[in-house]
Structure 1
Amino acid sequence: MSRFASRRIGATAALVLALGALAGCASEPDRYYTLAEPATPQPLVAPPPAGLAIEMAPLAVPERLARPQMVVRGPAGAEVQVLEQSRWAASFEQELRDALAAGVSARLGATDATRGPGVAGVLPWRIAVQVQRFDATQGGQVEAALGWTVRRADSSQRSTCSWRGSEAAPGGIDGVAQAGQRIVSKVSDAIARHIAALQAGQPAACPAAPG
């Protein structure tokens, strides 16, 4: 074999190895995150003897968030980045709906009739949540604003409340997901207290806005 041919073979082998390395970098696996609380919360109140049920309607969210990819703001705040390899376990609105339904039902000791049967003879409390804001910045914070309406299935009377706040999101995308979980915890707590007051025939006190 000539020296020229050996050099060509060597160059080809080096190119193949380089392309293989690039392909390996490009095929990093997607990472999936959840908004569900890491631990089941304790009930705030004892459910009534006949039982209690809740039903969470599909959430209304800003269109840019209605996707499984995580959406964060760039360092300057104006740029929005859609992270293809960092995703929620379901589309954001479904992931948040499931997390809130689980959090509220656990705090009330209630049956979650969102996706399954409720309690025979027990009319559920129906909850409609609207997400006005869920802005995340890696290494910064997650700022959120949500409103909700609660009504009994046998009544047209509605009671509304809202929550607004932020949670620190240090580090990378893991910090964003953990901040989202803490927001879910606080909002679930507020909705559960709202329903508990209505169930007891008391005025519903909405959470105070942070000062």
Structure 2
Amino acid sequence: MASTASAAPAAAPAAAADRATSPAFLIEVPPVDVPTQVARNQLVVQKGGSGVDVLEQERWVSPPADEIRRALSGDLAARLDTFDVYGAPYPNGVPVYRITVNVRRFDSWLGSRAVLDAVWSVRKVGSESVLTCHTLAQVSVGPGYAALVDGHRQAVAQMADEIAAAVRAGASGRGAPSTPSGQCATGKPSSGKVGAGAA
């Protein structure tokens, strides 16, 4: 019987939705890019130096790109006391920060570690400046598939911490922060995929 795995966060308490005041800004988290080899419902685990096993009996509830986006959206909304307006209209006059994520590695080492290597950007909609940063999260895991999935959940949470710090810095005008994985860069967006979406 196939098992299911999910990196999505638990639902936030209903009381969190009853805010007395409107958020200072909104966030927009578009779909996340992931490597082709893990863009499937089956769990893909590393084997040896460069091989992988595709586990037909161990599956994500939804493809990893969707799981990462859902978890990241929930984490950021909770950390920043706001909500994700991707795919929904939003009022004029409220700042919106668009967060674009390109996952370079999403490695699963059973009984060892979960690795998330991603480049992400934060751009205020309508601004000509984009902040681009790098997160490398490596989480040690215990035996079993549930521990591996939880390790990926923790890795996404680490990335959410770094992105939330960047959004706060941008909203307060403090400029580009540093992250545990390395320095961030800021400037006008190029024609590259990360951070180059239309305002």
Matched, 1:188 2:146: no
Instruction: Tell me the residue number matched to 1:32.
Output: 4
Q: Which sections of structure 2, spanning at least 5 residues, go unmatched?
A: 183-199
Residue 120 of structure 1: CA displacement? Answer: 5.3
Q: State the identity as a percent.
A: 31
1:62-100 superposed Cα distances (whole Å, 9 cap, x missing partner): 1111111111112x2332111112111211111111111
Letter matched to residue 195 of structure 1: V
Distance in 2 (alpha carbons) for counterparts of 1:31 and 1:121: 46
The one-letter code matched in structure 1 to 2:39 is A
Matches within 5 A, 1:93-112: 93-112=65-84
More strand by percentage? 2
Instruction: Indicate the residue corresponding to 2:197 in structure 1.
Output: none
User: Shift in Å at residue 209 of structure 1?
Assistant: 2.8
Change (3 A) 1:80 1:50: closer
Residues 1:52 and 2:52 aligned together: no
In structure 1, the residue matched to 2:45 is 72
Give, in whole Å, the separation in 1 of the partners of 2:177 and 2:12.
24
Mapped to 2, the partners of 1:98 and 1:200 lie a distance apart of 26
Tell me, in whole angstroms, the C-alpha distance in 2 between the residues paired with 1:192 and 1:123: 15
Q: Secondary structure at the match of 2:114?
A: strand
Task: Indicate conservation of the 8 Å contact 2:80/2:164, yes or no.
Answer: yes
- Kindly state the Cα deviation for residue 197 of structure 1 after the two structures are TM-superposed: 0.5
Residue 112 of structure 1 aligns to a residue whose secondary structure is coil
Instruction: Tell which deviates more after alignment, 145-154 or 115-124.
Output: 115-124
Counterpart residue identity of residue 139, structure 1:
G
Deviation at 1:115? 4.1
CA distance in 2, matches of 1:54, 1:149: 12
Residue type matched to 1:37 in 2?
A: P
What amino acid does structure 1 have at the position aligned with 2:33?
A
The number of residue pairs the alignment matches comes to 176
Secondary structure of 1:111's partner? coil
- 5+ long unaligned stretches in structure 1: 1-27
